[in-house]
């Protein structure tokens, strides 16, 4: 294998973000001038060896249509399932048969670096005995395991956090996901699905900067490391009337704006941009 092989990326983004607690699902919250999902997807669109990006979203999710990548010909949008396994299975069905390698990446990991993705591809290329790789990082906090009402200390050297992207050969991953679907099983990630199907996969060093946004604090804690840029848009139709307000300034004219509110599109766009820069929408 070499890096000219055809690569598809699957991004499960159908989660409800129940633990996040924001005003909208975390994947559509903003990091500067991009949403979390845009930041994750656009990284892959900037890699020449990536031929296809399949995104699984909630079938009722209209926000996907407003994303900057939506019209890119390499993008395919599919309906997600009620679990991660179902979403990835649905997305896998839309991956081109000519693709040789499939990477699965969490929508809520927007800080992946291109060099890390290429390193993972190299690990896969350099070991002919494996069918995939997945990144891990060593647990650094002290850990305890709950047993009944007690919490028993465990050796943290034996525990690792599993990250994405996880990268596998197309045919092997398809077979593994098909087996899960047939048995009605759900795994928390694709490396487990591959192992369950009997394939050998390799754990390789991950990156601590490649965190997954789970809680709102995860987003706000890292906003400070990004340039804060807000993008605001608002629009309304004109209609005959006796004046309109723009930028909190009344303009005496024979037009008005069709709106349920004051119709001040300048202030609305500014508010939209400020909320975006603050990561609050």
Q: Where are the domains of the chain?
A: 7-223, 238-277
pLDDT in tens, 33-89: 889 999 999 999 999 999 999 999 987 667 898 899 999 999 999 999 989 999 999
Question: CA angle, 224 as apex, 223 and 226 as ends, to 5°?
Answer: 70
Q: Are 202 and 133 in contact (CB under 8 A)?
A: yes
- With a cut of 60, say whether residue 2 has pLDDT above it: no
- Mean pLDDT on 142-149: 93
What is the C-alpha separation between 253 and 58, in angstroms, rounded? 45
pLDDT band at 26 (very low <50, low <70, confident <90, very high): confident
Three-state SS string over the chain comes to CCCCCCEEEEEEECCCCCCCCCCCCHHHCEECCEEHHHHHHHHHHCCCCEEEEEEEECCCCCHHHHCCCCCCCCEEEEECCCCHHHHHHHHHCCCCCCCCEEEECCCCCCCCCHHHHHHHHHHHHCCCCCCEEEEEEECCCCEEEEECCEEEEECHHHCEEECCCEEEEHHHHHHHHHHHHHHCCCCCCHHHHHHHCCCCEEEEECCCCCCCCCCHHHHHHHHCCCCCCCCCCCCCCEEECCCEEECCEEECCCEEECCCCCCCHHHHHHHHHHHHHCCCC
Q: Average model confidence (pLDDT) for the chain?
A: 89
Q: Supply the pLDDT for residue 138.
A: 96
pLDDT band at 16 (very low <50, low <70, confident <90, very high): low
- With a cut of 70, say whether residue 116 has pLDDT above it: yes
Q: Are 51 and 9 in contact (CB under 8 A)?
A: no
Dihedral sign (CA 172, 178, 183, 184)? positive
Q: Supply the pLDDT for residue 60.
A: 64
- With a cut of 90, say whether residue 161 has pLDDT above it: yes
- With a cut of 90, say whether residue 278 has pLDDT above it: no
Is the pTM of the predicted complex or chain greater than 0.85? Answer: no
Q: Supply the pLDDT for residue 216.
A: 78
- With a cut of 90, say whether residue 119 has pLDDT above it: yes
What is the C-alpha separation between 103 and 135, in angstroms, rounded? 12
Q: Supply the pLDDT for residue 227.
A: 60
Q: Supply the pLDDT for residue 125.
A: 96
Backbone angles phi, psi at 112, to 5 degrees: -65, 140
Tell which wins on pLDDT, 272 or 79. Answer: 79
Pick the range with the lowest mean pLDDT from 56-60, 137-141, 178-182, 239-243. 56-60
pLDDT band at 1 (very low <50, low <70, confident <90, very high): very low
- Give the CATH superfamily of 7-223: Spore Coat Polysaccharide Biosynthesis Protein SpsA; Chain A (3.90.550.10)
- With a cut of 60, say whether residue 18 has pLDDT above it: no
pLDDT in tens, 209-235: 999 998 877 776 666 555 667 888 888
Q: Are 154 and 144 in contact (CB under 8 A)?
A: yes
């Amino acid at each position: 294998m070499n890096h000219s092989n055809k690569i598809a990326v699957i991004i499960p983004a159908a989660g409800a973000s129940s633990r996040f607690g924001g005003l909208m699902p975390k994947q559509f919250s903003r990091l500067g001038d991009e949403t979390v999902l845009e930041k994750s997807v656009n990284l892959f669109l900037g890699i020449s060896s990536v031929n296809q990006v399949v995104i699984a979203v909630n079938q009722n999710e209209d926000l996907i249509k407003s994303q900057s990548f939506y019209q890119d010909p390499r993008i395919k949008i599919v309906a997600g399932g009620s679990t991660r396994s179902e979403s990835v299975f649905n997305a896998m069905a839309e991956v081109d048969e000519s693709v040789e390698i499939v990477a699965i990446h969490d929508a809520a990991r927007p800080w992946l670096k291109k060099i890390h993705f290429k390193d993972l591809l190299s690990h896969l290329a350099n070991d002919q005995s494996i069918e995939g790789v997945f990144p891990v990082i060593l647990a650094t906090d002290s850990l305890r395991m709950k047993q009944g009402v007690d919490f028993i200390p465990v050796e943290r050297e034996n525990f690792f956090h599993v990250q994405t992207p996880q990268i596998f050969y197309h045919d092997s991953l398809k077979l593994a996901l098909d087996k899960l679907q047939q048995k009605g099983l759900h795994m928390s990630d694709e490396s487990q699905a591959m192992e369950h199907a009997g394939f050998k996969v390799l754990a390789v060093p991950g990156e601590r900067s490649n965190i997954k946004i789970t809680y709102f604090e995860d987003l706000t804690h890292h906003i400070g490391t990004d340039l804060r840029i807000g993008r605001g848009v608002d629009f309304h139709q004109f209609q005959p009337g006796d004046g309109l307000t723009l930028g909190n300034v009344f303009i005496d004219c024979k037009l008005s704006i069709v709106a349920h509110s004051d119709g001040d599109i300048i202030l609305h766009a500014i508010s939209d941009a400020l909320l975006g820069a603050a990561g609050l929408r």
